[in-house]
C-alpha cells in the first residue's frame, strides 16, 4: 500500500475501506452496473451500497421518477428491485469482493420483512447491512419507521437478532429529534449510522398543473441539502462519540471540500450519490483533493480529521439594560 493509499484508508466497524468514499444506495444499482463505466475502478471507493432490497420483487413507482431541481434532484423510484433471494443468489456472485466492500440496503413495509431480508443477507458474502428505515409500516397505518424513534429501535432490534454483520442504520432527516433517534438505535444494537436520507419534496408542472413525479412526492438530494446534512451529522456525532460509533455522512457531497466538511463534523466515511449522475468519475477527483488537503496541512491520515471541528466558544449575550 502506497503512502497516499494509507492516508485515505479508514476503519469502519472493523472493515478496512480503501478510501472514506461510499457510493450510495440507489445511485449505483447493484454494483455491477457502475463497473461498466469506462475509467471507473472499484478501488476508488471504500464501499458500495447496493440498491434498496425488499423480500419480494417490486416494480417501483409510476413515471416520472426523477425531477431536476435547483441544486438538487427529486427521486421517487419506489424501491424497484428483484427481491432479496435473487440478489443473493444471482447478483452477489458476480461482484468482485477483493477490491471494495459491498453493503446491502434492507427495506421493508413491516418489521417482519426487515428481519427476514436481513436474515437472507446474513447468509451471504455481503460485508455489512444498511437498514433503510424511511419506509412506511403498513401495520401501523403507514407511519414511517424512521420518523418514530421507538419504531426505529424496534426495526434495529429485529435485524440485530438475526445477524452478526455490521448494522448501519440510515437515519431520516424528516423527524423532530435525530439525536434521540440515534440514541434509541444505539441501545437497540446498531453498529453505525448513515446520516442523512433524502428530504421529502415536490415539483409541479405549472402548464399541466400536475405534480411532475408520478408518486407526487420524492426524496430531495444534491447540494441543496448539504447544510442540513452537515448539521444532522454533527448532532448524531455528539451521540456517537462516547461510544466510538462511526457515521457515513451524506447529502450533497460533490467535491473534496464537501467531503472534508463532513469528516470534520464527525463522519468516518462520506457518501457520494447525486454527483455520480453528472460526473461518474468524481471519486478519484475527491480522493486526490482530500490527499492534497492532508499534505498541505501536514495531517497524517483521514482518520485524524474525523470529528476535529474546532467549536467556537459561546458568545455572551449583549444586553443594553
Q: Residue 132: which of 202, 67, 53, 61 has the closest Cα? A: 53
CA pair distance 148, 106, nearest whole angstrom: 18
Query: In angstroms, how far is CA 229 from the centroid of its own chain?
Result: 11
- Buried-exposed string 229-255: b where 16+ CB fall within 10 A, e elsewhere: bbbbbbbbbebbeeeebbbbbbbbbbe
Q: Is 135 a catalytic residue?
A: yes
Secondary structure (3-state) at 177: coil
**Cα distance between residue 60 and residue 79, in whole Å:** 5
Q: Which residues contact 103 (CB under 8 A, 6 or more apart)?
A: 22, 25, 47, 48, 49, 50, 126, 127, 128, 129, 130, 168
The residue count for the chain: 321
The active-site residue out of 13, 27, 49, 135 is 135
Q: Determine phi and psi for 125, rounding to 5 degrees.
A: -80, 5
Give me 32's grid cell: 455491477
Classify residue 125 by burial, with Cβ atoms within 10 Å: 0-12, 13-18, 19+: exposed
**Could you tell me if 237 and 230 are in contact, meaning their C-beta atoms sit under 8 angstroms apart?**
no
Q: Per the omega criterion (within 30 degrees of 0), is the bond before 196 cis?
A: yes
109 contacts 137 by C-beta, under 8 angstroms: yes
Residues in contact with 298: Cβ distance below 8 Å, sequence separation at least 6, in sequence order:
none
Q: What angle is formed at CA 27 by the lines to CA 229 and CA 8, rounded to 5 degrees? A: 65
Which residues are the active-site residues? 135
Amino acid at each position: 500500500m502506497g503512502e497516499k493509499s494509507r492516508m485515505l484508508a479508514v476503519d469502519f466497524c472493523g472493515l478496512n475501506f480503501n478510501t472514506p468514499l461510499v457510493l450510495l444506495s440507489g445511485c449505483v444499482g447493484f454494483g455491477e452496473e457502475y463497473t461498466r463505466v469506462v475509467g471507473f475502478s472499484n478501488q476508488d471507493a471504500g464501499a458500495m451500497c447496493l440498491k434498496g432490497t425488499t423480500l419480494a420483487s417490486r416494480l417501483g413507482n409510476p413515471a416520472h421518477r426523477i425531477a431536476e431541481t435547483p441544486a438538487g434532484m427529486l427521486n421517487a423510484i419506489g424501491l424497484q428491485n428483484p427481491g432479496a433471494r435473487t440478489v443473493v443468489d444471482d447478483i452477489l456472485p458476480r461482484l468482485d469482493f477483493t477490491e471494495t466492500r459491498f453493503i446491502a440496503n434492507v427495506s421493508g413495509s413491516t418489521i417482519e420483512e426487515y428481519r427476514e431480508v436481513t436474515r437472507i443477507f446474513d447468509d451471504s458474502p455481503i460485508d455489512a447491512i444498511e437498514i433503510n428505515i424511511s419506509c412506511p409500516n403498513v401495520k401501523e397505518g403507514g407511519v414511517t419507521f424512521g420518523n418514530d424513534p421507538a419504531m426505529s429501535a424496534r426495526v434495529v432490534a429485529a435485524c440485530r437478532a438475526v445477524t452478526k454483520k455490521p448494522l448501519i442504520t440510515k437515519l431520516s432527516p424528516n423527524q423532530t429529534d435525530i439525536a434521540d433517534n440515534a440514541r434509541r438505535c444505539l441501545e437497540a444494537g446498531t453498529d453505525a449510522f448513515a446520516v442523512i436520507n433524502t428530504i421529502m419534496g415536490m415539483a409541479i408542472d405549472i402548464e399541466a398543473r400536475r405534480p411532475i413525479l408520478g408518486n407526487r412526492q420524492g426524496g430531495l438530494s444534491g447540494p441543496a441539502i448539504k447544510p442540513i446534512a452537515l448539521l444532522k451529522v454533527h448532532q448524531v456525532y455528539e451521540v456517537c462519540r462516547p461510544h466510538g460509533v462511526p457515521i457515513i455522512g451524506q447529502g450533497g457531497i460533490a467535491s473534496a471540500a464537501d467531503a472534508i466538511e463532513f469528516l470534520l463534523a464527525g463522519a468516518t466515511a462520506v457518501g457520494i450519490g447525486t454527483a455520480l449522475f453528472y460526473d461518474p468519475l468524481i471519486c478519484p477527483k475527491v480522493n486526490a483533493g482530500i490527499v492534497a488537503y492532508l499534505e498541505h496541512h501536514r495531517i497524517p491520515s483521514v482518520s485524524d480529521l474525523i470529528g476535529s471541528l474546532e467549536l467556537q466558544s459561546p458568545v455572551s449575550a449583549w444586553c443594553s439594560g
